[in-house]
Each structure stands twice: as structure tokens, then as C-alpha cells.
């Protein structure tokens, strides 16, 4: 893989650049693999039921779990690349300092929301530890772990973005990721 963007020169920014780049590549790959697995599993269940007359009731449970983790990895990757839905009504009219303050404020608010959601997911995981799926007997906690993974990861990313503020190399990294 050749890189179109140059990594930043500062040590901390270089580490963040390669870490964020690695996170997006890994999350994208895992998300695609998990979604492809969901599709294959559903097709296999339909074919087994219609052609062979075999019921596979466990496929719904596994497909749900795979889908939750695919969304978790995808949402973390989207957070790193600033691809979550945002309403941007006036920031293009702000000056440099005001835009930086807005960036940090949005990062702090997002961090708070994601941390609260992660806390809710881990709380639900603990509360549902004894609840099990019907076919396989898997604890529902594993579903909530995927949700926790997504929100905790996004909380870390937005906290870093709030502390660091806007950086020029992230735009280059975003355009590089879009070219794949």
C-alpha cells in the first residue's frame, strides 16, 4: 500500500497518525469480514432450509452478534475519519480560533456522550450476564460488549481530538482513506 499523505514530523503526531491509520484499516477489514460472514450465514441458512429441509435456528443469533460487531468496528472507523453525521451550519464562517474552540467543544461533548453510552453498555452487559440466547445459550453480555467496544473506542478518539484540536494531517489521512 502506498501512502499519498506524508506523516507529520512531530513524534506524538507521528504516533497518532500511524495509530489512527492502523485502527481504520483494521476496523474496516474486520467490518467487511463480519458483514460478509453475516451474508454467507444467512444464505447458508436459507439454502439449508429450502433445499435440504434442515433447520438452522442458531444462525439468527450468530448473525445478530456478527452484525453488532460489524457495526461497532465500522462506527469506530467512521469516528476516526470524521464520517459520522454532523450538522455544520456556520463553522465555515468562523475564524481560525473560533473554529478550533468549536472543534474542541464538539469533541468534549461527543466524548461525554460516547462515555455515557459505553457506561450504559457495560451496565447492561453486567445486568444481562445470566440472560442467554435460546438456541446456543450464549450470554447476551457478548452483544453488549460489541456496543461497549464501539462507544469506548469512539470516546477515546474524540477525547484525543478534543485535547489535540484540529490538525492538518488528518485531512490528508481522511482523503487517503477515501481513495481505498
Banded pLDDT at 111 (limits 50, 70, 90): very high
Cα–Cα nearest to 27, from 179, 177, 176: 177
Residue 172 half-sphere exposure toward CB, CA atoms < 13 A: 11
Which value, in Å, is the radius of gyration of the alpha carbons in the chain?
20
C-alpha distances in Å from residue 179, one per residue of 4, 10, 90, 109:
9, 25, 28, 30
More confident residue, 5 or 100: 100
Contact predicate 96/90, CB 8 Å:
no
Banded pLDDT at 135 (limits 50, 70, 90): confident
Bridge partners of 132, per DSSP, are 139
Give the separation between CA 27 and CA 161, rounded to whole angstroms.
Answer: 19
Cα–Cα nearest to 89, from 108, 106, 111, 113: 106
What is the pLDDT, as a whole number, of residue 84?
A: 73
Cα–Cα nearest to 65, from 14, 139, 3, 115: 139
Contact predicate 73/27, CB 8 Å:
yes
Q: What is the mean pLDDT of residues 92-116?
A: 86
Q: What is the mean pLDDT of residues 104-117?
A: 92
What is the pLDDT, as a whole number, of residue 62?
A: 92
Contact predicate 158/79, CB 8 Å:
yes
C-alpha distances in Å from residue 97, one per residue of 19, 94, 101, 106:
27, 8, 6, 14
Percentage of the chain modeled with pLDDT above 70: 83
Question: Model confidence over 16-38: pLDDT tens digits?
Answer: 888 888 999 999 999 999 999 99
Contact predicate 63/42, CB 8 Å:
yes
Torsion on CA atoms 43, 49, 55, 59, rounded to nearest 10: 10
Q: What is the mean pLDDT of residues 42-50?
A: 91
Q: What is the pTM of this model?
A: 0.80
**Average confidence score pLDDT of the chain:** 84
Percentage of the chain modeled with pLDDT above 90: 42
Amino acid at each position: 500500500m502506498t501512502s499519498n499523505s506524508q506523516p507529520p514530523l512531530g513524534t506524538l503526531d507521528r504516533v497518532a497518525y500511524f495509530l489512527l491509520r492502523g485502527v481504520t484499516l483494521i476496523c474496516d477489514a474486520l467490518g467487511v469480514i463480519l458483514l460478509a460472514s453475516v451474508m454467507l450465514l444467512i444464505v447458508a441458512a436459507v439454502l439449508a432450509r429450502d433445499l435440504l429441509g434442515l433447520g438452522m435456528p442458531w444462525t439468527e443469533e450468530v448473525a445478530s452478534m456478527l452484525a453488532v460487531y460489524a457495526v461497532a468496528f465500522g462506527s469506530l472507523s467512521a469516528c476516526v475519519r470524521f464520517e459520522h453525521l454532523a450538522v455544520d451550519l456556520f463553522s465555515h464562517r468562523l475564524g481560525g480560533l473560533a473554529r478550533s474552540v468549536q472543534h474542541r467543544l464538539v469533541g468534549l461533548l461527543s466524548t461525554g456522550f460516547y462515555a455515557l453510552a459505553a457506561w450504559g453498555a457495560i451496565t447492561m452487559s453486567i445486568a444481562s450476564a445470566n440472560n442467554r440466547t435460546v438456541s446456543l445459550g450464549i450470554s447476551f453480555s457478548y452483544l453488549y460488549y460489541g456496543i461497549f467496544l464501539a462507544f469506548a473506542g469512539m470516546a477515546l478518539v474524540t477525547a484525543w481530538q478534543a485535547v489535540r484540536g484540529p490538525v492538518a494531517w488528518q485531512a490528508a489521512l481522511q482523503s487517503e482513506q477515501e481513495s481505498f
